[in-house]
């Protein structure tokens, strides 16, 4: 659905000059949910699919939920993996917005624990169009952070400047 939303956004801009397009959402008992964005990742043992959806995406504190599962069940390798977790967005602490996250990894075959990723992202506006953004995380055998992205186990931190044009 996000692919169609992107195509619709381009069409709206080219045909009407409209710069914003509402994303597709579903309502379940009054709660807005986005359709999942599904990513495919290659690992040395096979494929992993990660699906991400947002609950209350237009609200003040959207919740991002992620489920990663291997493609072994369709004969595509020996990953045997399940990754579950999420992120709670935009907690205001003064002027700073903090978004903590946590993911746990397990073997899909027996749900035996085998890794995790925890941390938080933060942003601090310095002016209307400029801000600081940072991320601090601790990863231990997490399939996305350590295997796919190639980060070492342990603490990682990133700080950067954000500019809106």
CA 63 to CA 37: how far, in whole Å? 14
Q: Kindly state the average pLDDT of the residues 109-124.
A: 95
pLDDT exceeds cutoff 80 at 92: yes
Please compute the mean of the pLDDT values over residues 75-87 and round it to a whole number.
87
pLDDT digits (tens, 9 = 90+) for 22-39: 778 888 888 999 999 999
Q: What is the mean pLDDT of the chain?
A: 91
The DSSP result for 5-56, as a single string, is HHHHHHHHHHHH-----PPP-EEETTEEEPPPEEEEEEETTEEEEEEEEEES
DSSP 8-state code for residue 62: -
Q: What is the pTM of this model?
A: 0.84
């Amino acid at each position: 659905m996000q692919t169609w939303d992107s195509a619709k956004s381009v069409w709206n801009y080219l045909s009407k000059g409209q710069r914003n397009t509402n994303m597709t959402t579903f309502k379940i008992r009054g709660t807005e949910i986005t359709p999942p964005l599904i990513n495919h990742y290659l690992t040395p043992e096979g494929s992993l699919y990660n699906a991400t959806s947002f609950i209350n995406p237009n609200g003040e504190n959207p919740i991002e939920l992620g489920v990663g599962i291997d493609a072994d069940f369709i004969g595509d390798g020996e990953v045997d993996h399940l990754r579950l977790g999420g992120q709670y967005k935009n907690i205001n602490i003064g002027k700073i917005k903090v978004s903590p996250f946590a993911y746990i990894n397990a073997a899909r075959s027996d749900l035996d624990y085998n890794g995790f990723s925890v941390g938080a992202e933060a942003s601090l506006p310095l002016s209307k169009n400029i801000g600081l953004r940072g991320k601090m995380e601790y990863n231990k055998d997490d399939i996305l952070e350590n295997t796919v992205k190639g980060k070492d186990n342990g603490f990682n931190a990133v700080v950067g400047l954000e500019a809106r044009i």
